[in-house]
Chain A
Amino acid sequence: MIAPRRWRWAPSLLTRILLVEALIILIACIVLPLQARSMLGSSVDRIETDMLLSQAQTVAKAVSHDPRASTGNGWQVELDEALRPIYATGYDGRAYAVVDAQQHLLAISRFARPMLWPPIGYAGRMQRFQSGSLVGLSLPVTVAGTPLWVVVTQDQTRPGAVVDDVVRAFLPRYFIWLVTLLLLIPLISGIVLWRSFQKLRHVAQEAAAIRPQALHARLDEAGLPAEAKVLVRATNELLERVQAAFHLQEEFAGNVAHELRTPLAALRVQLGLIEDSAVRDTMARQIERMSHVLSQLRDLASLESADRAEISRLDLSDLAVAQVAEMTPAILAAGRSIAVTGAEQGVPVFGNQVLLTIALQNLIDNALKHTPGGHHIEVSLLPEGGISVADDGPGIAQDDSPHLVRRLWRADQQRSDGAGLGLSIVQRIADVHRGRLEIGKSALGGAQFALFLPLAH
């Protein structure tokens, strides 16, 4: 049992890929700047710590104690000439202080503001602190046997400190580049996929054009992505198998027709032995009907290879005269008459002799067998590259003509003599020649079938 079909969202492959890409881009747009920010922050912190440490070490080296000095309990900081201006002005925002274990300030630079410092732990190891825009570091040192702490600070609002500005300016620009590049991904993949799918659509059109009568056609895999090639190749292999099956079936039909011919011939020869003329006529009609269907089956078999038929220049007039001459005894025997008009002028067309002979034979057979009450059949050569077969039978109801060429369809549904089969053979031959079959009323009052072919000038 087939499960009831439920509605399921089945977006195209392109939509799926683009949706997934959009999701990834959204996540990347949020996560990547945050991550960059935190990485940059930690890098900046490390650089600051290193800078502060080196400053503290420089200051620590410059600390000395002179008990005879008049100022600051004898503690002083003697910096190099080159470093002095840094602490003498506020431009760089740097300051230092030297503190003893009792938290007495032993020495201090000009712009140090100890009142702004957060409580600083004076431990046995280096400690970093931060308060607002002020970052600092305390470094324990021992000078002249006395444990001291060198405190250095950096005011980050000062123009000399650039690191934070760099980070702040970098992130928005980084973000723009990031988003631009990320948006390029769906754009490019969209274009690439669209082009690949265009070839796929082309192949789909090829597949749609394959008809049971032209199963030798194969789908073109050139230029397709490998994933699609697999499907196309499998389809081509399927076509191969279907064609083989079709061929087998047609061969079978051909064999059946072939096998039936000999017994039918025996029946026909023995007809003459039947004394009762009514019985004889009935049987003759039945045998004739069977023979007709058999020849149509034979024609269908010939059509199997029609797509590969050799097309050459030929004279439709010669073909018509020869075929009508061939069929005349049977037409006269059926009590009808036939004539060819317009054959004095040649009608050169491009066509296949065998197929066109079959077409004309079927058109004449059709006029002969499917027009009860008809008397005369007229075959006319048309200078514009065509041939028509007209009869004076009852004609075709206007509604019937579109159905007329459908195989096994009959104008009179009760009849079973295969009028539609013959006409569909003619239609197929017209198709093979890139010609057309036109159905209309004849000047004789019955139906007219005109087959037009490419004219050979």
Chain B
Amino acid sequence: MRLLLVEDDAELSAALVADLERRGFASDSAATCEDAALFVQTIQYGAMILDLGLPDGNGLDMIRRLRAQANPLPILVITARGDLESRIAGLEAGADDYLAKPFSPDELVARLRAVLRRGGSYQGREIVCGNLVFDTDNSQLTVVGRVVSLSQRESALLGLLLRRTGLVVTKRLAEDQLFGAQDLLGSNAIEVYVHRLRQKLEAAETSVEIVTIRGVGYLLKPVAE
């Protein structure tokens, strides 16, 4: 799977392409809207990393054009304009996520993965994190070749956390995803499932941990060595 990086600053572009390659993402780079449009038409990309301020136009217009053509290409915007209004404008135009320069490459990749997984197409059906492999189609968790059995809601929760590895899944988002509107929820329903999932992950000696951000939500990340 290839990425398209649209960035007019040659040095940042080169550095990003190199960094992404080290992290296992092959990417092409374009410096103008025109080039980018050409690339998108000819090659099937997994996602596009797009700088908004380009010499021959505004990246927002390009997003709108792509969305008008019903192109579902996941788009992660990177921009020097980091204020909240631009962020809202970017998301409203149809970008999947928005990152202000200067960003940390780790955060870029975490968000990139989240954007890719949203479509469900990223790296087939499997999400790999540490020694853990999760098959999103069958909701099957494998740790170092051993299958760990999970309940339906436990695996839904794990899928949610894995798609946002390194990012916070708020309690409200988890509740909305795991339970239907008809379910009567106790205030600690999610805690119960997180607790069970954590126990199963620990028992299976996975190299990931679920961090509780009290009052906010949960975050799954590989255990630091």
Residues of A within 8 A of B (CB): 258-259, 261-273, 287, 290-291, 294-295, 298, 301-302, 321-322, 324-326, 328-330, 332-333, 337-344, 353-354, 357-358, 379
On whether the beta carbons of B101 and A295 are closer than 8 Å, the reply is no
CB closest residue in chain B, given A317: B215
Minimal beta-carbon separation of B166 from chain A (angstroms): 6
Interface bin, chain B: 35 or more
Complex Cα distance, B107 from A8, in Å, reads 69
On whether the beta carbons of B12 and A338 are closer than 8 Å, the reply is no
**Number of CB contacts from chain A to chain B under 8 A:** 114
On whether the beta carbons of B84 and A354 are closer than 8 Å, the reply is yes
On whether the beta carbons of B83 and A302 are closer than 8 Å, the reply is yes
On whether the beta carbons of B80 and A262 are closer than 8 Å, the reply is yes
Complex Cα distance, B87 from A353, in Å, reads 13
Minimal beta-carbon separation of B87 from chain A (angstroms): 10
Interface flags for B56-97 (1: CB within 8 Å of A; 0: not) read 000000000000000000000010111111000000000000
Complex Cα distance, B100 from A322, in Å, reads 17
Complex Cα distance, B212 from A325, in Å, reads 11
On whether the beta carbons of B110 and A332 are closer than 8 Å, the reply is no
Q: Which of B18, B19, B172, B214 contacts A340 (CB 8 A)?
A: B214
Q: Which of A298, A325, A330, A354 contacts B170 (CB 8 A)?
A: A325
Minimal beta-carbon separation of A260 from chain B (angstroms): 8
Complex Cα distance, B19 from A269, in Å, reads 7
On whether the beta carbons of A295 and B82 are closer than 8 Å, the reply is yes
Complex Cα distance, B83 from A64, in Å, reads 126
Inter-chain pairs besides A266-B15, A269-B16, A324-B215, 10 sampled, C-beta below 8 Å: A263-B12, A265-B102, A269-B105, A298-B82, A321-B217, A325-B213, A339-B216, A340-B214, A354-B85, A357-B84
Minimal beta-carbon separation of A364 from chain B (angstroms): 12
On whether the beta carbons of A258 and B81 are closer than 8 Å, the reply is yes
Minimal beta-carbon separation of A127 from chain B (angstroms): 107
On whether the beta carbons of A264 and B101 are closer than 8 Å, the reply is yes
Q: Which of B85, B103, B104, B168 contacts A328 (CB 8 A)?
A: B168
Q: Within 8 Å CB of B80, what residues of A? A: 258-259, 261-262
CB closest residue in chain B, given A270: B15
Q: Within 8 Å CB of A259, what residues of B? A: 80
Q: Which of A268, A272, A301, A354 contacts B103 (CB 8 A)?
A: A268
Complex Cα distance, B219 from A341, in Å, reads 17
Minimal beta-carbon separation of B99 from chain A (angstroms): 9
Minimal beta-carbon separation of B88 from chain A (angstroms): 9
Q: Within 8 Å CB of A358, what residues of B? A: 84
Contact A268:B216 (CB < 8 A) given known A321-B170, A329-B168, A354-B84: no
On whether the beta carbons of A341 and B215 are closer than 8 Å, the reply is yes
On whether the beta carbons of B103 and A265 are closer than 8 Å, the reply is yes
CB closest residue in chain B, given A266: B12
Minimal beta-carbon separation of B105 from chain A (angstroms): 5
On whether the beta carbons of B12 and A269 are closer than 8 Å, the reply is yes
On whether the beta carbons of B102 and A329 are closer than 8 Å, the reply is no
Minimal beta-carbon separation of A109 from chain B (angstroms): 116
Complex Cα distance, B168 from A339, in Å, reads 12
